[in-house]
Amino acid sequence: MKRELEPMETRQERREKKLRKKKEQIPQHGKALAKIYKNAVQKRATKKQP
């Protein structure tokens, strides 16, 4: 009976909700990681070529 009271969700809506939850769980990296990457790229760019 509970199903009758709730509006039916389409498969696409359920999929979008599931993907939204999954995306929220992905850890976000801070600026520290970006700084490390930037320094590594600069170091490689300024390195002398043999």
Question: What one-character-per-residue DSSP string does 1-50 give?
Answer: -HHHHSPPPPHHHHHHHHHHHHHHHSPPP-HHHHHHHHHHHHHHHHSPP-
d(CA 39, CA 46): 11
Entry pTM: 0.37
d(CA 7, CA 3): 8
What's the confidence (pLDDT) of residue 7?
74
What's the confidence (pLDDT) of residue 34?
86
What's the confidence (pLDDT) of residue 49?
64
What's the confidence (pLDDT) of residue 32?
86
d(CA 48, CA 50): 6
pLDDT digits (tens, 9 = 90+) for 1-50: 455 666 788 999 999 999 999 888 877 677 788 899 999 999 988 876 66
What's the confidence (pLDDT) of residue 50?
61
